[in-house]
Amino acid sequence: MRLLLDTVALIFSVESPERLTKRATGILQNTENILELSAISLSEIAAKAARGKLNLSAADTRHALEDLDIRILPYTANHAFFLFDLPPLHADPFDRQIIAQALCEEIPVMTCDEKFSLYHGLKVLW
């Protein structure tokens, strides 16, 4: 199964894996799954680290991506165009971009953020 990890899923997997559900842990460990992380998530991690809200360095993030065999999903103009019709159910601009990207790509998102479930057509796994 191909799926998009929300930023929080990657952060939890690195900093506090005990916060992942058994289902989320199983998804991450299943080598048949194609795990992707939005390029937007890399920007979010960098922004939070720069403000001192997160202790993940670029090296830590790269290492996590390699360890979990996660590929980066580029953010495209097509993804951005989905934002025009996306209802304002989530206020976080990073999350809105990830939601738009997942809807455009028609892939589920792994997240504990309950607001993702408000979007019609978006499959959320956790």
Mean pLDDT per 10-residue segment, the chain (126 residues)? 97 95 96 97 97 95 96 98 96 98 98 97 97
Question: What pLDDT is recorded for position 126?
Answer: 96
CA distance 17 to 78: 33
Sorted by sequence, the CB contacts under 8 Å of residue 64 that are 6+ apart come out as 10, 13, 14, 56, 70
* 3-class SS letters over 63-104: HHHHHCCEEEECCCHHHHHHHHHCCCCCCCHHHHHHHHHHHH
CA distance 26 to 115: 23
The tally of domains found in the chain comes to 1
Residue 21: which CATH number?
3.40.50.1010
CA distance 32 to 1: 7
Enclosing domain of residue 120:
2-125
